[in-house]
Structure 1
């Protein structure tokens, strides 16, 4: 009897605790502006009617999610995010705290989850399965669906309580209880569908847009469908009776007849093109060239203020899909690792960068395909290798703020530096935390001061120092940072020169000779990326061209910081060439940082030429002479 009583008490405690958890979750205010699917709605428009007031403030950041193209969705004050290490996370929007019951295990994927608000389910497509979870993290059901491909940043689509996915070369429709309604043969496993009215639209990825009856799954053949278009891995946005698709250009089609309405160049194409956003009669596309484009939805006419200025160097993983909220456009600008905010078409600042926020990741891919989402005054950014960032609109109470290292010098030979610290306009700031870790691992809050001595971490390299401020109300500022080069010798830029085998500077070689380099002013015993490229006209921040075939890729300095005589080309080919040592290993030529040999001969670093006449002629003459003598003897 005693044991039975204890068991009942335990059961009561569990039920009571669970009830309190549910009540506390229900107590979270209902948010009106959810973002429940990867492009917000069934039509994949990537748009919200809400207005985001600037400036944005980074309120919280979680490095827990392992991000590799993955995306997030928001409903009822909770943000859900899939990760490439096979987990589904849930965070409270207001605080960034993890929701009890999460993360839950799914499987490897690069996509985004989806929320069925009416049926209280969260869906994730991973490892050939469609997972359905209840909002407390318990599993509702799982269906094996077949190969899902990459689905970069994409996810299931919810419409009228049903979930639609593409997997295993099938377009599938499930009820909220996991019952398959229909499946229809399709093509393309790397993208998800879009829905408008009674039809489902799908990119085949091989030059077709296909159309299916939403009720039966039957493919519509004829009447202009399937549409022939360019290949690509973007998802069509379908709205207002039109289909908008980004391939080699941006295309608009009539959703009823399949007829082409207009097409416009939009920054070139790549394998993983970003998808369009459509709002207020305007189609927005982020180009492979790092530029934002905007077109009139009906005519394709470029909108005033667009295309924008270059937001990120051309070709640097500019695969993001823009998100629009009211009068602003948001984009994760490729490898810059910056979330950028532009004025929307039709506004006074159309196409102008209004604000930008630097995130951080050691993964050089940057934002890649991780597209921003927006919900109730919060802009969320997902960064490859950098986790999840939450930027709140101007409910924050201050603007400004900064950190400056060593009076803004570019370089220091001392490990001890002075930090100048500016808390901005908020006079309530009482504390700060400082670290060389952007996630402030191990950093402690300390009283705010306008300057502070700081000891840089050991090792000669570029150092970044981060600061965040906190006021007496517990409000956090953005994270600010500054950089300085910590070097044994700040007085000189690294140098590189072409040389012969003895280490003597040499600029002109004979075709087939071996080429060597020498140099100075490097960090000791350090390996650097080396490029031998065809003669180039150089400018700051120019992407370094491809290496000449069969040339060296690396060079290592000695213990004194000099480049020993190093062979970089064994059997040189006729031409003019430059040598670049990419000191900061970013694939970009940076004036004052990278070493270059480019103006020594014929505006190039070195040249290889055919042998001079005597070099060729004298041996040939000798051979002819000997032949003549032998012929005379024979006669």
Structure 2
């Protein structure tokens, strides 16, 4: 009996020493909270677990070649960012020194990298404007590449062994090791946002204003929700809801399993920013220049703060602080709970890209292609430069205590373990885990579409009761506004046409609240589309009669810009026009 107690005591000591030894000898067990994908994690919470301290100071900054659409991520001691020059740039996280370039295929229409890279322990995943998704080894060797259907702004997300990404035609799921397509789901409109993924499903939104929830195993539709505006915002999810912003100026919270509207909150501008979420709050920026903090369960406004320009960048949480950048060229740092402005750091240019936070360092990318790293000047993070050859290094300094302690424990552990193994095996046999039950049992329908609830709109026109004597004059007023926009509209097609058609339906049915809202949206869209169309036609006139062999590519770019504008892909059209203008200026210099 005493022998058994002694044996049990040895077992407990062995377990304890093993645990302590792992903590001391395996730094990865206490590794920094890497920001290795868009939104920090597959739920896109944009919430780092690090307890960052203030104030921040400039650690380093460096210029990235080519204009930027991508946001930075930080992992494995490196910072990664994609560029319009068709390269994925990597920088040392401690010094800002450029390390490697992963070159995408040199596509004639510029293989711009607009998505944010995804980094794992062994691989790097990035999509490009050549319609492909690439997987690289950390050494830079290409593992695989696959055609993924007009990949643009969407950034890849990983969950278990599957990569999820949005495209111009839908949502794709691919194997991370071989790039083989697992499933695809065709959507209405392009997917600009990055899919959020959890065990409940895959969540993404399209340029047509739809929010999708898909079965992660087979891509079948669980539910679909419709907003009144384009969506480029990426959803953030938790166990209860999916949170997202729309161009219709609203922040939405949808039940994670049913798609039912839990609440919506109207801001003063279009929402391109994506939300960051904590246990009880949601944070997001708007084109009205405000950053909003709301209660997740009720949508109650906790606080808001106005910056001096629109907010396109997405917020990030770390410790007790909320970090968000504005197009006014400032990085704002707030107390996340009460909205107190803790610090305001001036950057040379506006910021569209979202932030990344790891190792007590905040990384951001400005519109003039400058990559910044700000660190806490009271943090324990510091740069260490080990000797080039450790064997020849000066050994006069005392050996760090961690190695002395680890060595002593290793000897003790070895002695106890050998003694224990002779008498009885320390580790019990592994138990077989039960297989997961079929999830299809709890799925009641294949598809469900939920329309937006009608709510009163803030505006100058009063809401009239249906059937009142003022109803006809009010409808006539809205009809005149609609016809005026139709006459002012230069483009055949485009998103504005869809909105105007929807507005006509609302006017005909005397749904004045939504008619007014749709007409406001259409007014802004018509102006934007007219301006872009004018720029396209102006450049087309300039190249008319020029040598086709020299200006053929420019002509093709302009055709693509016009096509995408008619299809409602406004930002894609802008990009093609931008590339056409760049080629035109280069051609002028040559001639």
TM-score where L is the length of structure 1: 0.52
What is residue 281 of structure 1 aligned with on the other side? 280
1:477-524 per-residue CA deviation (whole Å, 9 max, x = no partner) reads: xxxxxxxxxxxxxxxxxxxxxxxxxxxxxxxxxxxxxxxxxxxxxxxx
Q: Offset at 1:28?
A: 11
What is residue 358 of structure 1 aligned with on the other side? 346
What is residue 264 of structure 2 aligned with on the other side? 263
Pairs within 5 Å for 1:19-418: 31-99=31-99, 101-105=100-104, 107-117=111-121, 119-149=122-152, 151=153, 154-176=154-176, 177-187=178-188, 188-220=190-222, 225-231=223-229, 232-247=231-246, 248-269=249-270, 273-303=272-302, 306-308=303-305, 310-313=306-309, 317-334=310-327, 336-345=328-337, 350-361=338-349, 366-367=350-351, 369-395=352-378
CA distance in 1 between partners of 2:311 and 2:150 (Å): 27
CA distance in 2 between partners of 1:279 and 1:376 (Å): 20
1:189-225 per-residue CA deviation (whole Å, 9 max, x = no partner) reads: 32231112141112122232111110111122xxxx2
Q: Offset at 1:358?
A: 1.7
Cα RMSD (Å): 2.4
1:157-188 per-residue CA deviation (whole Å, 9 max, x = no partner) reads: 11112211112413111112212111221232
CA distance in 2 between partners of 1:27 and 1:360 (Å): 37
Distance 1:91 1:31, change over 3 A: farther
Q: Offset at 1:57?
A: 1.2
Given that residues 191 and 205 in structure 2 are in contact (C-alpha distance below 8 angstroms), is that contact kept between their aligned partners in structure 1? Answer: no
Structure 2: any 5+ residue segments left out of the alignment? 1-25, 106-110, 381-526, 528-591
Pairs within 5 Å for 1:605-616: none
CA distance in 2 between partners of 1:161 and 1:110 (Å): 24
Q: Offset at 1:83?
A: 0.8
CA distance in 2 between partners of 1:276 and 1:237 (Å): 6
SS of the residue corresponding to residue 184 of structure 2 reads strand
Q: Offset at 1:277?
A: 0.9
More helix by share: 2
What is residue 420 of structure 1 aligned with on the other side? none
Q: Offset at 1:38?
A: 1.1
Given that residues 201 and 209 in structure 1 are in contact (C-alpha distance below 8 angstroms), is that contact kept between their aligned partners in structure 2? Answer: yes
CA distance in 1 between partners of 2:156 and 2:43 (Å): 12
Given that residues 174 and 181 in structure 1 are in contact (C-alpha distance below 8 angstroms), is that contact kept between their aligned partners in structure 2? Answer: yes
1:30-87 per-residue CA deviation (whole Å, 9 max, x = no partner) reads: 8421011111111112111212111111111110243423211111211111111111
1:258-312 per-residue CA deviation (whole Å, 9 max, x = no partner) reads: 1111111233215xx1111111210001122211111111111111xx112x222
CA distance in 1 between partners of 2:259 and 2:28 (Å): 45
CA distance in 1 between partners of 2:165 and 2:226 (Å): 22
Given that residues 192 and 205 in structure 2 are in contact (C-alpha distance below 8 angstroms), is that contact kept between their aligned partners in structure 1? Answer: no
CA distance in 1 between partners of 2:335 and 2:158 (Å): 30
Distance 1:60 1:242, change over 3 A: same
CA distance in 2 between partners of 1:104 and 1:147 (Å): 18
Given that residues 237 and 243 in structure 2 are in contact (C-alpha distance below 8 angstroms), is that contact kept between their aligned partners in structure 1? Answer: yes
Larger radius of gyration between Structure 1 and Structure 2: 1
Q: Offset at 1:396?
A: 6.7
Given that residues 174 and 180 in structure 1 are in contact (C-alpha distance below 8 angstroms), is that contact kept between their aligned partners in structure 2? Answer: yes
Pairs within 5 Å for 1:429-468: none
What is residue 476 of structure 2 aligned with on the other side? none
CA distance in 1 between partners of 2:27 and 2:143 (Å): 23
Q: Offset at 1:325?
A: 1.1
Distance 1:62 1:185, change over 3 A: same
Given that residues 135 and 143 in structure 2 are in contact (C-alpha distance below 8 angstroms), is that contact kept between their aligned partners in structure 1? Answer: yes
CA distance in 1 between partners of 2:33 and 2:102 (Å): 24
CA distance in 2 between partners of 1:28 and 1:57 (Å): 27
Given that residues 112 and 128 in structure 2 are in contact (C-alpha distance below 8 angstroms), is that contact kept between their aligned partners in structure 1? Answer: no
CA distance in 1 between partners of 2:240 and 2:27 (Å): 40
Given that residues 29 and 77 in structure 1 are in contact (C-alpha distance below 8 angstroms), is that contact kept between their aligned partners in structure 2? Answer: no
Moved over 6 A (4+): 26-30
TM-score where L is the length of structure 2: 0.56
SS of the residue corresponding to residue 193 of structure 2 reads coil
Given that residues 290 and 311 in structure 1 are in contact (C-alpha distance below 8 angstroms), is that contact kept between their aligned partners in structure 2? Answer: yes
CA distance in 1 between partners of 2:51 and 2:30 (Å): 18
